[in-house]
């Protein structure tokens, strides 16, 4: 009796369409420039935005997850191990990178979704620590502290994605796919997620089968994170435990919070700006963390809607005034 | 047998350090309902303040430790009063605030002291010998100070009016406030007490282990692990869990090597959450 109580929203809203158009437009960038720097920054942003969307899905239900690096690792290592068996077909790999983390998320979700609020945060943090230790302790499968290098390029319809430009195009494709999945999920279940975000106990007492939507969100978020891992491994040509360090979860959370958690444009705008800003620091990239810190403080204390939310409010005010 | 006893001494000494960290962490959660992501940062800050006092100002080490406690407690007080206080009822918002503070703190330390490990040594060296077993003197001194601090904390919380007030706020904030307790004074005090403990641990332990901007992350992870094991908000649970974690870590590093011990502990914690989400000694869980 769950779904029938709540009206279903239109499949895609303005923000969702805008986000999809942004990534469709990204395909044009590698055609217009040969700059290695542009390729590098764009590629980092395209990986980051997928991971940030995984965080954002859970935030729709007021759950902050630090587990994204763990699921990214599953997706990334799946592709790396498949590469050792010379499996490079993009459709096969994309399906595997999405489905395997999602499958792992089913039993894990049954465990961790019993917990709410801060307890959930702590447990997802523990999960990403466990994954990090597992990567080091299973050298037979994952190469241990050496990781897996020499991953063959992904093959798209007979073409190997070997050059910088092709890798960026591939990352565009993954980001677009992830955005479409995220947009459809969060739009279709908008009311359900919002009810859980607002007041879970009330939602449950009104007949919403809360665990079903939380589990669905968790599983899809894991699959999206797996896609981010696929994209990351393809960019780096190697799968290494340090790429999936639990500290990177902080970056993805920062992207989402700074961009704004109310709309899907939040993680998109947040990631784009933060990755760009990080590159402005040049060789002093570690200082970007300080910038994230300051911006998080500002957003939480003063601009609760993040960048996107603040811009929306400003636009509304300007419209009201005119 | 010697190896067994030696590992036991290391384990208990680790346990005492973890207990100081976990008690601070669980104190903040129990009283304010805030998960303090900057706890590892305050540990690191304590280490750097002590180092700067000894190395740059030439102050004797014990004074440097006191300076570290004072600085971290003062910063904790100010941070709570100015920032946390505004959003103290919003779990996720306060969590983000402490995360933001941690990122700023670690970047500041990186800027001031650089990314490399500092040459910071404990002033007492040597070892005591009990028959065939050697106990490093520095570990024994740290163990002594940690146990004293734990005793002191216990006295403050259970034998003074401030302690009773803090525990009352942890038990039921609404009722405690109705009785006239003032969170505006007590919350910053609790936060300062906890960050001071983290600073004390940092000042004591970083000269033995190492001091670099990277030390905060493992400390935060261990604090999480310990307080989940003990039950969030439970003081006795945190102390008990800290010694379990310390002893398991010491024995597994001697007998298994690598990170197997940590892996076992993390999986243990995950399973514990399934069967007993409140931890070993926790009661009701706030918001879980």
Q: What is the pLDDT of residues A154-181, one digit of tens each?
A: 888 888 888 888 888 889 999 999 999 9
Which runs of E-coded beta strand occur in chain B? 127-130, 133-136
Q: What pLDDT score does A77 carry?
A: 93
Structure-token pair, residue B207: 């000269």
How many angstroms away from the CA of A21 is the closest CA of chain B?
31
ipTM metric = 0.86
In this structure, the dihedral spanned by the alpha carbons of residues A147, A150, A152 and A154, taken in order and rounded to 10 degrees, is 50
Burial profile B74-85: b = 16 or more Cβ within 10 angstroms, e = fewer: ebbbebbbebbb
pLDDT the model gives residue B281:
67
Closest-CA distance, A227 to chain B, in angstroms, reads 25
User: B136 pairs with which residues across the strands?
Assistant: B127
- Tell me the shortest Cα–Cα distance from A250 to chain B, in angstroms: 8
Hey, are the CB atoms on A296 and B103 less than 8 Å from each other? yes
- Out of B86, B266, B288, whose CB is closest to A133? B266
| Cα–Cα–Cα angle for B153, B156, B162, rounded to 5 degrees | 135
pLDDT, one tens digit per residue, over A108-158 is 888 888 777 777 888 888 888 888 888 888 888 888 888 888 888 888 888
Query: Is residue B18 a contact partner of residue B230, using CB atoms and an 8 Å limit?
Result: no
Share of chain A above pLDDT 90, in %: 26
The domain limits of chain A are 3-245
Interface contact B258-A136, CB threshold 8 A? yes
Other beta carbons within 10 angstroms of residue A90's beta carbon come to: 18
Position A6 scores a pLDDT of 53
- Write down the pLDDT at residue A132: 87
pLDDT-derived band of residue A2, with 50, 70 and 90 as boundaries?
Answer: very low
- Six-digit token string for A301: 């204390």
**Strand, coil or helix: what is A239?**
strand
Residue in A with minimal Cα distance to B258: A137
Chain B residues touching A297 at Cβ < 8 A? 83, 97, 100-101, 104
Contact criterion met (CB < 8 Å) for A130 and B228: no
pLDDT in tens, A39-77: 888 888 999 999 999 999 998 888 889 999 999 999 999
Alpha-carbon span B169 to B191, nearest angstrom: 13
Structural domain contains residue B245: no
Q: What is the pTM of this model?
A: 0.87
Give tens-digit pLDDT for B174-231. 888 888 888 788 888 889 999 999 999 999 888 888 888 888 888 888 888 888 888 7
Architecture of domain A3-245: Orthogonal Bundle (1.10)
Cβ separation B110–A287 shorter than 8 A = yes
pLDDT of the residue at A3: 45
Q: Point out the residues of chain B with pLDDT beneath 70.
A: 258, 274, 277-288
Helix axes B39-55, B91-113, angle to 10 degrees: 30
Give the mean pLDDT of chain A: 86
Kindly compute the dihedral angle of the four CA atoms of residues B196, B158, B19, B70, in this order, to the nearest 10 degrees.
Answer: 10
- Section A206-220 average pLDDT: 88
Of A116, A292, A299, the CB nearest to B288: A116
Q: How many domains does chain B have?
A: 1
Helix H or strand E encompassing A67: none
- Whether B283 maps to a domain, the answer reads no
Minimal CA separation from A178 to chain B, in Å: 26
Q: How much is the pLDDT for B274?
A: 66
Q: What is the mean pLDDT of residues A252-258?
A: 91
Tokens representing A114 are: 């019993």
Q: For residue B260, tell me if it sits in a domain.
A: no
Per-residue model confidence (pLDDT) at position B262 = 80
Domain membership flag for residue B232? no
pLDDT in tens, A217-244: 999 999 999 999 999 999 988 888 888 9
Which residue has 């303005």 as its token pair? A14
Residues in chain A closer than 8 A to B83 (CB atoms):
297, 301
**Confidence grade of residue A252 (pLDDT, cut at 50, 70, 90):** very high
């Amino acid at each position: 009796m769950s779904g029938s109580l709540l009206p279903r929203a239109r499949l895609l809203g303005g923000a969702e369409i805008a986000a999809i158009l942004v990534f469709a437009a990204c395909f044009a960038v590698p055609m217009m420039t040969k700059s290695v720097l542009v390729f590098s920054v764009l590629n980092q942003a395209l990986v980051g935005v997928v991971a940030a969307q995984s965080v954002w899905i859970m935030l729709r239900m007021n759950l902050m997850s630090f587990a994204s690096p763990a699921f990214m690792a599953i997706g990334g290592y799946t592709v790396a191990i498949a590469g050792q068996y010379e499996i490079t077909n993009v459709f096969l790999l994309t399906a595997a990178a999405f489905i395997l983390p999602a499958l792992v998320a089913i039993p894990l979700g049954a465990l961790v979704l019993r917990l709410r609020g801060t307890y959930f945060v702590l447990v997802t943090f523990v999960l990403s620590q466990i994954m990090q230790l597992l990567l080091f302790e299973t050298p037979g499968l994952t190469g241990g502290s050496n990781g897996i290098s020499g991953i063959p390029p992904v093959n798209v319809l007979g073409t190997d994605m070997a050059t910088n430009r092709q890798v960026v195009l591939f990352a565009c494709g993954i980001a677009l796919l992830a955005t479409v999945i995220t947009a459809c999920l969060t739009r279709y279940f908008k009311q359900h997620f919002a009810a859980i975000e607002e007041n879970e106990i009330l939602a449950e007492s009104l007949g919403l089968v809360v665990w079903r939507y939380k589990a669905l969100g968790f599983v899809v978020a894991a699959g999206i994170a797996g896609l981010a891992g696929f994209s990351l491994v393809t960019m780096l040509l190697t799968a290494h435990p340090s790429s999936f360090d639990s500290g990177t979860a902080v970056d993805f959370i920062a992207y989402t919070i700074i961009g704004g958690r109310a709309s899907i444009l939040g993680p998109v705008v947040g990631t784009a700006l933060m990755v760009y800003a990080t590159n402005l620091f040049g060789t002093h990239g570690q200082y970007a963390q300080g910038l994230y810190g300051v911006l998080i403080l500002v957003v939480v204390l003063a601009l609760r809607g993040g960048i996107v939310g603040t811009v929306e409010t400003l636009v509304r005010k300007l419209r009201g005034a005119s | 047998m010697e190896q067994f006893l030696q590992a036991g001494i290391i384990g208990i000494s680790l346990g005492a350090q973890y207990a100081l960290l976990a008690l601070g962490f669980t104190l903040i959660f129990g009283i304010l309902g805030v998960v303090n992501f900057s706890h590892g940062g305050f540990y690191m800050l304590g280490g750097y303040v002590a180092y700067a006092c000894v190395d740059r100002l030439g102050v004797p080490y014990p004074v440097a430790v006191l300076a570290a406690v004072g600085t971290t407690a003062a910063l904790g007080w100010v941070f709570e009063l100015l920032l946390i206080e505004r959003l103290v009822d919003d779990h996720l918002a306060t969590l983000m605030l402490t995360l933001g503070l941690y990122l700023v703190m670690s970047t500041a330390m990186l800027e001031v002291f650089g990314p490399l490990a500092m040459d910071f040594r404990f002033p007492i060296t040597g070892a005591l010998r009990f028959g065939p077993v050697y106990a490093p003197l520095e570990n024994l001194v740290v163990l002594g100070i940690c146990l004293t601090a734990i005793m002191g904390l216990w006295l403050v919380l259970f034998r003074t009016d401030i302690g009773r007030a803090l525990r009352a706020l942890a038990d039921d904030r609404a009722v405690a406030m109705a009785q006239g307790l003032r969170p505006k004074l007590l919350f910053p005090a609790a936060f300062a007490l906890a960050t001071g403990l983290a600073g004390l641990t940092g000042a004591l332990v970083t000269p033995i282990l190492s001091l670099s901007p990277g030390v905060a992350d493992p400390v935060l992870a261990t604090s999480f692990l310990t307080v989940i094991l003990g039950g969030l908000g439970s003081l006795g649970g945190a102390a008990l869990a800290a010694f379990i974690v310390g002893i398991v870590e010491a024995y597994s590093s001697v007998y298994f090597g690598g990170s197997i011990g940590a892996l076992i502990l993390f999986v243990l914690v995950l399973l514990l959450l399934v069967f007993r989400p409140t931890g070993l000694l926790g009661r009701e869980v706030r918001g879980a």
